[in-house]
Amino acid sequence: MNNEHMEHFKVTIAEPFLLIPFILLFFLYLIACIVSNRHYKRWSYFRIFYWGLGVLCMATVAIGPLAKSVHSNFTAHMFGHLLLGMLSPLLILLSAPMTLFLRTVRVKHARYITKVLKSFPIRLICDPLTASLLNVGGLWLLYTTNLFSQMHQNLLLYLFIHLHVFIAGYVYTAAFIYIDPIPHRTSYMYRGIIMILSMASHGVLSKYIYAHPPNGVTTTQAEIGGMIMYYGGDLVDIILIYIFCLQWYKSARIKSNLVKQVNI
């Protein structure tokens, strides 16, 4: 058995074990739902669906044909970027994991967690501007330096970058649309301006990749990958913008009704 077949055999054997963390994530959420339903209003089935689909998107990047192709195929890599850094964070956020978590833990622990969420470091990280720099700025650093080629040669760096892509994508999404409790809320106008600038920066980066392939990426794959990043990113952004505008509309409507009641 040559080295290539041996590596393929090792990956095939390891795949079921790599699937375990994602299965645990899904069932831990279900257990939390059961615990929550005993004391509060029944948890939405839509949120369970969002969680399951979000975990599936993450698992697709870590296990299976797509996960095997990302090392040698930039097109596959960019599909993985969309799933891990954009779609999965949005779906996970829509499942309101922090709200569910606070409903399942003891009141004492919930108060402590809330206190941590109100701290200055969390406030700084969750600010739309900081979240955008961590998310989109990290992508600029990845695709315009040698970091992209280096991460495929170092397993720890590879895992760290993928973890960063998901966490930064989640924090970025949570900074603009409020699903879970947010101690430090910013105005819709401020969030709207930062959102436009960050999405524009993401679009510019996709065009830059199209014209300037990262190290080790062929021109053809860079062009296809750039288009996937541009148009695929727009599809996820449309959902994000819709939810943001819907929340803004509801907030303005509530304020308008309060003003009318005061005037009456």
Asked if the model's pLDDT at residue 2 lies above 60, the reply is no
Q: Name the residue with tokens 């794959």.
A: 221
Answer yes or no: are the C-beta atoms of 44 and 95 closer than 8 Å. Answer: no
Distance from the first to the final alpha carbon of the chain: 84
Single pTM value for the model:
0.90
DSSP-derived letter for residue 217 is -
Question: Average pLDDT of 18-28?
Answer: 91
Question: Average pLDDT of 238-256?
Answer: 90
Asked if the model's pLDDT at residue 164 lies above 80, the reply is yes
- What digits encode the pLDDT tens for the residues 78-109? 999 999 999 999 999 999 999 999 999 888 88
C-alpha dist (Å) from residue 260 to 152, 249, 254: 60, 16, 10
The pLDDT assigned to 30 comes to: 95
Which backbone phi and psi does 104 adopt, to 5 degrees? -100, -25
Q: Mean pLDDT of all residues in the chain? A: 89
The pLDDT assigned to 199 comes to: 96
For residue 19, name the pLDDT band (cuts at 50, 70, 90).
Answer: confident
- What digits encode the pLDDT tens for the residues 127-145? 999 999 999 999 999 999 9
Question: Average pLDDT of 201-226?
Answer: 94
